Structures are given as C-alpha cells and as structure tokens.
Structure 1
Amino acid sequence: MKRDLMLGALAALSVAAALVLGQIATFPNLAPWYAGLVKPSFNPPNWVFGPVWTTLYVLMAFALWRVLRSDATAGRRVAVALFYLQLLLNAAWPWMFFAAQSPGLGMINIAPQLIAILGTIVAFSRIDRVAGACLVPLAAWVGYATALNFALWRLNG
C-alpha cells in the first residue's frame, strides 16, 4: 500500500510539473499574441483546452502509476523512458509555441511528441493494457493539435 502511494505521488507530481511548466509559458501569451492569430475553422474555443488537458493529464498520471506498480519488469524501463520523453516534449511545446510565439517551433516539437506518445502506448500496452488505453485519448488530441498547429503555422507564418 505504501509503495503504491509513493508511486502514485511520483506519477502525479511528474505530470503536474509538466502541466505547471506549460501553463507558465501559455497564459502570458494568450492575449494579445494567440488571440490575434488567424485561426482555422476547426480551432476550438479557448475554454475547451482546460478541461481536455486536465483529463489527459489525469489519464497520463494514472497510466504511469499502473506501469510503475506493475509486476512486469520486461520492457518497463523503456516504457517509462518513452513516457518521460513524451512528457518532456509535452512540457516543452508551450515554450516553443506560446513563449517563443512561434507556430513553426511548435511544429518541430509536436510531430516527434506524437510519435513518442504512440511509442509509449505500444510499450505501456505490453505491460498493462489499461495503461496503454489511457494514453489513446492523448494521442488523438495531440494528433488533432498537430493539425491545428500546422494550420496556425500556415495561416500566420
């Protein structure tokens, strides 16, 4: 029980750190920079991002916790490394897109980020199917975000 709590805290703190780092880069640049960009027709309203990302971060933490506490050792090190790679890319994207005010830099990050997420899903699924499934919504959202980032780059670059 104590081990599970410690692993849960590690997973939650890791994901929360990425969330906070992203918010630090995002919020100061929503207005006027992001608000002033030409947006594609499929750009969601700003209020959508908070609930979506909160849900995705909870799912990420839960998935990591399940893998960390799993008895399976084969492939766990690679799976956790892939998770932290995608989490690092996730935390870096707002700095490249929002803080640098550069959809082009965002594109440089988001494509490898999506590949890392897909690799993490495969690696997590080999250890724990539920953990892998928890990351599927993240892949779907980042796939959508990749298209959105590309459109913003093309419309404003």
Structure 2
Amino acid sequence: MNVLASPAQLRASFLRWALFMVPLVLLIGFAAGQLGGPDTPWFAGLVKPATYPPPAAFGIVWSVLFVLIGLALALVASAWGAHGRGAALVAFAIHFAITQSWTAVFFGMQDMFAGLMVLGVGIASLLIALALVARVRRSAALLLLPYLGWLCFAGVLNYQFIAANPDGGPKDASGAATKVEF
C-alpha cells in the first residue's frame, strides 16, 4: 500500500531532521576550526588584503551559514521517497568534508596555495551537490546559495593572500625571538 504522509507528519519529520542536522553541522564546523586558526605568528606576519573582513565577522558568518546548511540538509533528509535523496546527501557530505579541511591546510599546514586548491575543489563539489539537492528540494538549494557565495569570496580572499605574500609568509612561524644562521 502506498500512503502519503500528512502535512503534520512532514513537518514533524523536517523538525526531527533539523534538530539533528543543525547541531551536527555546527559541531563539525567547530571541530574543523580547532585544526588551526588565525591566532598564529605565521598568520599575524602575513600581509592582509584590503578585502579581509574583521576577524569577528568570520565567526558570525560561519555560524549563520552552518545553520542554513543544517536546515537545507534537513529539508533533503526529510524528503522520504524522493528520487536522488541519498545521492544528494552523500554528495553534500563529501563536499563538506573537503571544505572543512581548508582550515587545517591553510592555517595548520600554512599552505596558502593548497588552501586555494581545497576551495576550488570545494566550490566545484558544491555545484554538483547543489544540482543534486535542487532535484530533491529546490528550497534546500536556495538555502545553500549564501554558502556558495561565501566559498567564492573565500577563494578570492585566499588568492589575494597568495598575491600579497608571494613568498608564503614569514618563514619562522615558531615565534622565536632570535634566529641564528651559520
């Protein structure tokens, strides 16, 4: 027997998924942020591009984006029986793992070029995930558009860091006061 869910059942399913997805995405984002950050001597020694926003803006923007991502994923996950639901969720999970590695690459490994490559692959994989998500729930894809815009901005900003610091930044990021060469 094929039974359609009532509107109340659909709302309850979305709410349950949202209560799971939003905290999960926030937790993953927070955990990725612990793999490196701007509070290092290396980053402090970099020339900052003119488009570099105030540091507080990053926490605010990422928090809002993570909530939007969680809601978008809840919309897709609650679309039981929708063709392509599983593929959309898997594609987004792969994309998200890629982009969350940027912090470890850029700040942790102090590799601006590899960070730019991560963002390039992240943007390309998000476009694929967006196409799959849109097939399941158009509203979910619309919720992900600010995230796409921010990733594109991050790519431009990452490139500007490379252009402003062609030597890769300060070589002695250890914070040592004296450097001795023989």
CA RMSD of aligned residues (A): 1.8
Identify the residue that residue 8 of structure 1 maps to in structure 2. 18
Deviations 1:102-138 (A, max 9, x none): 1112012110101111222221111111100010000
> Could you say which residue in structure 2 is the equivalent of 1:98?
107
Which shifted more, 124-133 or 3-12? Answer: 3-12
Instruction: Name the aligned partner's letter for residue 123 of structure 2.
Output: L
Out of 82, 85, 101, the position equivalent to 2:91 is 82
TM-score normalised by the chain length of structure 1: 0.89
Mapped partners of 2:80, 2:13: distance in 1: 12
Mapping 1:118-157, distance limit 5 Å: 118-156=127-165, 157=168
Identical residues among aligned pairs (%): 28
**TM-score, with length taken from structure 2:** 0.78
Q: Judge which range, 114-123 or 17-26, deviates more.
A: 17-26
Q: Secondary structure of 1:33's match?
A: helix
Q: Deviations over 1:10-55 (max 9, x none)?
A: 312431232122220234x423222221111111111111111001
Mark the structure with the bigger radius of gyration: 2
Matched, 1:54 2:67: no
Separation in 2 of the partners of 1:66 and 1:153?
Answer: 38
Aligned length: 156
Partners of 1:100 and 1:31 in 2: CA distance: 12
Question: Superposition pairs for residues 34-49 of structure 1, below 5 Å?
Answer: 34-49=43-58
Matched, 1:30 2:44: no
From the two aligned structures, give the one with the greater helix fraction.
1
Match of residue 82, structure 2, among 64, 69, 73: 73
Using a 3 Å threshold, how does the CA distance of structure 1 residues 54 and 39 change in structure 2: closer, same or farther?
Answer: same
Q: Contact 2:26–2:67 at 8 Å: present in 1 too?
A: no
